[in-house]
Structure 1
Amino acid sequence: MTTERTASGSSLIRALEVQCNVIGALMMRELHTRYGRENVGYLWMILEPMTLATAVGLIHLAQPAHTVSDINAVAMFSLGYCVFIMFRGMFNRAEGTIEANLPLLYHRMVTVFDLLLSRALLEAAGTTCTLIVMLFFGIMLGLTHLPYRPEYLMGSLLFMAWFSFSLSMLVCAGTHDNRLLARFVHPISYILMPISGGFYQVGWIPEPYRTWLSWFPMANIFEMARYGQFRAAPDTYFSIPYLIGSCMLLSVLGLLAIKLVRRHIHLN
C-alpha cells in the first residue's frame, strides 16, 4: 500500500511538472507571437497597458486635486483603468483562442485550459508590473502614495485575474464556431467599462442602483482595490466571501464549457 501511494504521488508530481512546462512554453510562444523581439520586444507587455492607463489619468489631471472623498482623481482613474485592462485582455483575447492555436491541440498534453491559462498569466503579470511601475512614478510625482492596505490591493488583482479567467473560458467555448456571438465580445467589454466600478465609487450611486451594483463582482473588485490603495476608501461595498463564491461558480461553469466544446473540436 505504501509503495502504491508513493508511486501515485510521484506520478502526480511528474504530471504537474509536465503541465507547468507546457504552460511555460505556451507563455513564451504567446510572448513571441504577440510582441516579437524587435524594438522594445517583450517590454511592450508592460508599456502598452501603462501608456493607456497613463493617458486616462492625464485626462483627469486638470480636475481638482482630490475628489469628494479625498482620493486623488488621477490616481483613482489610473488604478481603475489599469485593473480593467487585465479583464479586457483576458476577455477579448479568449475569442478565437481555439482557432488560432488549433495545431497545438494535436499534442495530447496541450489542452484548451492550458492555452487560456497561459494567456491569463501573461495578462495578470503584465497588469501587475504596470501597476507597480505606475505607483512608483505616481509616488515620485506626488500624485499618490504607497498602498495603505497592500494586502487588499493584491487581493483585488487576484480576484480580477480569477474572475476574468473564468469568463474567458466561457467566452472561448461560446464563440467556437459561433461567429455571431464572437462579434459581441469586444462591444460587451466596452459596455462593461463604464459600469464596472473602475471609474466611480459605488457609494456615489443612488439607490436602488447602488444595491444592484453591489451584486456585480467587478464592482466589488474595484471597491476592494480602492480600499487597498487609499486610506479614505470605505470597505462597505465589497464582500470577499461573495467574490469567492462568484468566482468559484464561474470557474465551474467555465471548466464544464471548455470540456463540452473540446468534443466538437475536429483535428484534421
Structure 2
Amino acid sequence: MSSTDFAPPATPTISGKRSFPSARAVAALILREMATGYGRSPGGYIWAILEPVGGIVMLSLAFSAIMRAPALGISFPMFYATGMMPFLMYTDLQGKIASALNFSKPLLAYPTVTFIDAILGRFILEVMTKLLVSYIVFGGIMILYDTRVTLDFPKIFESFALAAFLGLGLGTLMCYVFTRFPLFQKAWGIATKPLFIISCIFFLYQTIPEPYQGYLWYNPLVHIVGLMREGFYPTYDATYVSYTYVLSISGISLTLGLLLLKRFHADILTR
C-alpha cells in the first residue's frame, strides 16, 4: 500500500477572485450608509427633501419678483424644479461616490468587501433617495400649484438615468483621483462651483447668445436638464440634447476610473 493512500483529502481552493460584488456586502454597506449618512441626526431624510425645496422656493421668489412668468409654463416652482432635481441627482451622486473609498476604508481591509461594493452601495442608496425626493417635490408642486404640465415619463426617467450615469462615471474617476491626490479635491470643488449657474437651471439654453451658447453645449448637465424639461413641457423642443455626448463622457470616465482603482486601490488603502 502506497503512502498516498493515507494522504489527507485535498482542500478545495478558490480559483481567482470573485467576478461580481457580493450582494450581502453591498446590502450591508447600504444599511451602514443609511445609518451614518441620513440616520445620524434627527430628520435626516427630511433634510434631504428640504434642501431642494428651499432652493426652489428661493429661486421662485427671486425671479417672480422681476418676471411675470417663467421661461416655460406658468409655474415658477415647476420650472426651477425641472432644472434642480436632475442637477442634484448628479452633484450629490458624484460627491458621494468620489468619497466612497475613504468612507469605507476600514471595511475594505476585509477580503469579502471590494471597492466596487463601496461604490455600488453608495450609488444604489443615493439614486433611490434622489428618485424618492424628486417624486415628493414634483408631486407636491403639482398638488399645490396650477402647473399645466404634461408628463412624458420615458424622457423624465431618461434624464434621471443620464444624471445618475454621469454621477457614477465622474464619481468613480474622482474616487481614484481624490484618494491618490488629496489636494485635487479642493481644486475640483472650486472648478465645479459655477456649474449651478451654467447648467441652465434658471434659464433656457436657447436664450443664450453665441458664442456662449456653443460653449455651454459642452456641459453635459445642460443636455440632462433640457431632456428633463422636454419630459414636462410638450411644447419645448430641446434639439440640442445629445445622448451620445453624455453617455460618452460617463462611459469613458467610469471605465478609466475602474481601471485605475483596480490597478492602484491596494496601494491607496495602505496609505
Q: Decide: shared fold, TM above 0.5.
A: yes
User: 1 or 2, which has the higher helix percentage?
Assistant: 1
Q: Please identify, of 207-216 and 46-55, the stretch whose mean Cα deviation from structure 2 is larger.
A: 46-55
CA root-mean-square deviation:
2.6
Instruction: String of CA shifts for 1:58-104, please: whole Å, max 9, x gaps.
Output: 44343545234446332111221222112221233344432332111
Task: Show the 5 A alignment for 1:1-268.
Answer: 19-36=22-39, 39-70=42-73, 72-145=75-148, 147-267=150-270
Aligned length: 254
Q: TM-score, normalised by structure 2?
A: 0.82
CA–CA distance in structure 2, aligned partners of residues 112 and 54 of structure 1: 38
CA–CA distance in structure 2, aligned partners of residues 143 and 184 of structure 1: 43
Shift of residue 41, structure 1, vs aligned partner: 4.6
CA–CA distance in structure 2, aligned partners of residues 127 and 61 of structure 1: 27
Helix, strand or coil for the counterpart of 2:190?
A: helix
For the Cα contact (< 8 Å) 2:70–2:79, is it kept in 1?
no
For the Cα contact (< 8 Å) 1:46–1:126, is it kept in 2?
no
Helix, strand or coil for the counterpart of 2:120?
A: helix
- Structure with the greater alpha carbon radius of gyration: 2
Q: Which runs of 5+ in 2 are unaligned?
A: 1-17
Q: Which residue of 2 aligns with 1:8?
A: none
Shift of residue 35, structure 1, vs aligned partner: 2.0
Q: Which runs of 5+ in 1 are unaligned?
A: 1-13
Letter matched to residue 123 of structure 2:
A
CA–CA distance in structure 2, aligned partners of residues 191 and 237 of structure 1: 21
CA–CA distance in structure 1, aligned partners of residues 72 and 84 of structure 2: 19
The 1:47–1:116 alpha-carbon spacing in structure 2 relative to 1, beyond 3 Å, is farther
For the Cα contact (< 8 Å) 2:73–2:233, is it kept in 1?
no
The 1:147–1:157 alpha-carbon spacing in structure 2 relative to 1, beyond 3 Å, is farther
Instruction: String of CA shifts for 1:222-254, please: whole Å, max 9, x gaps.
Output: 110111111222121102233333322222122
CA–CA distance in structure 1, aligned partners of residues 51 and 196 of structure 2: 18
Helix, strand or coil for the counterpart of 1:206?
A: coil
Q: TM-score, normalised by structure 1?
A: 0.83
Letter matched to residue 250 of structure 1:
S
The 1:109–1:145 alpha-carbon spacing in structure 2 relative to 1, beyond 3 Å, is farther
CA–CA distance in structure 2, aligned partners of residues 213 and 192 of structure 1: 10
Letter matched to residue 35 of structure 1:
Y
The 1:23–1:264 alpha-carbon spacing in structure 2 relative to 1, beyond 3 Å, is same
The 1:91–1:174 alpha-carbon spacing in structure 2 relative to 1, beyond 3 Å, is same
Letter matched to residue 204 of structure 1:
T
CA–CA distance in structure 2, aligned partners of residues 94 and 182 of structure 1: 13
CA–CA distance in structure 2, aligned partners of residues 222 and 246 of structure 1: 16
